Amino acid sequence: MDRFVIEGGTALRGRVEISGAKNSALPVLAACLLTDQPVILHRIPRVKDIRTMMDLLIHMGMSLENGETGAVTVRAGSSLQPEAPYEVVKTMRASSLVLGPLVGRYGRARVSLPGGCAIGARPIDLHMRGLEQLGAKIEQTHGYIEATAPEGLRGAVVHFDRITVTGTEDIIMAAVLARGETVIENAAREPEVVDLSDLLRKMGAEIEGAGTSTIRIRGVKHLTGAEHTIIADRIEAGTFAIGAAITGGDVEVVGCVPEHLTALTAKLRKAGAEVTEPAPSVLRVRGTGRLLSEDIVTEEHPGFPTDLQAQYMSLMTQAEGIAIVSERIFENRFMHAPELVRMGASIRIDGRQAIVAGPRRLTGAHVMASDLRASASLVLAGLVAKGETIVDRVYHMDRGYEKIESKLAGLGARIRRTQ
């Protein structure tokens, strides 16, 4: 199993290019199931979760072709098997994203229920209830969800009891080919929902309100092929921004969308980092030598993203004072805290809050990554720790960060991958 060996103590300096957003590319790839014409996608990140989604599409009968410029062309094959088996999707929860397009276009889907997840129970009941409202019949047997709609789906009002990102995406994809109008209330406003809707509109879908809490979709008869560039990964960009601040470095995060990161950049400024936008799509983050504690509460977009909570907690171990980190989205997303404590951090967990007292001098240790973002927080801690840090189980990190060690090394970090 791969691990990272990090020699701490160097400030990150230079420019880093941000990849396409994993959480955008996943629904966008699933959306290709909605047409039999080719969809050309640019800036698909080469990370494990995307590979799994591609394998799933291939398993179902789609063909994927890599172009010379890195573009991926997705085409429907001659026959499609609307089934996502456990063996293909067991490592990726986002498999539920194929439910909506499959039942919307083919009238049936058989998708393995996602397994357990380190960060919380993560049910998909809201996806299923939404599909039922559109007229699908849903059964759960042998670990699979079977959804059928032999007469096709019909538009309806889908009100989500709580905001769900992939649930919103799933229902959008189910509704684009349904008869009549669908209104999604209490929809997720994440940039990834907007990106998916942008692609679907290029394919001929009629969608209004993506990026707000109410999304209206008027079903159309069929969708065509399209060409689309995935938005920048705001979580990757945020991770490098925190990396600059925690190491007291100076990094230009290039090719990102600063408006997607305002919850983080506001906190970084308050915590003492200098954040500027020297050019469009560029964020420059500079450590000023002193970090101050600043509380955060994770919320749905445009609030502080849960996917940057772990990395921010590492930053707060280096800040003066007490910071309260509150996790409101997932019930079990503090698995990085005990590992940070092993490196010398002072963190007390009280329910959904972590109380971080800083600054504490971290020292290198052998630590274990428990999920994707937790592994990023441990790598960041390793960058400021004295001596050598070994981060085990980096396959978690490979699920969502493209070429992370070479990007960090390009900024001067001393990091290598070993087995």
Kindly list the residues in this chain that would bind ligand EPU in the complex (CB under 6 A): 23, 26, 94, 120-127, 162, 164-167, 192, 306-307, 329-330, 372-373, 400
Q: Which residue, 243 or 249, has its beta carbon nearer to ligand EPU?
A: 243
Question: Sign of the C-alpha dihedral, residues 189, 191, 195, 198?
Answer: positive
Count of alpha carbons within 13 angstroms of residue 104, beta-carbon side? 36
Q: Which residue, 285 or 374, has its beta carbon nearer to ligand EPU?
A: 374
CA distances from residue 229 to 29, 66, 198, 236 in whole angstroms, order as listed: 12, 14, 10, 17
Q: Which residue, 162 or 270, has its beta carbon nearer to ligand EPU?
A: 162
- Least distance (Å) between residue 124 CB and ligand EPU: 4
**Residue 278, preceding peptide bond in cis (omega within 30° of 0):** no
- Least distance (Å) between residue 337 CB and ligand EPU: 17
Cα dihedral 170/97/379/301 (nearest 10):
0
- Least distance (Å) between residue 94 CB and ligand EPU: 4
- Least distance (Å) between residue 310 CB and ligand EPU: 9
User: Interhelix angle for 22-31 vs 165-175, to 10°?
Assistant: 20
Query: Residue 391: phi, psi to the nearest 5?
Result: -105, 115
Query: Residue 113: phi, psi to the nearest 5?
Result: -65, 135
Cite the active site residues.
117
Q: Which residue, 8 or 100, has its beta carbon nearer to ligand EPU?
A: 100
- Least distance (Å) between residue 97 CB and ligand EPU: 7
Q: Which residue, 103 or 273, has its beta carbon nearer to ligand EPU?
A: 103
Token reading at 211: 């990026």
Distance CA 172, CA 214 (A): 11
Cα dihedral 360/267/328/112 (nearest 10):
-100
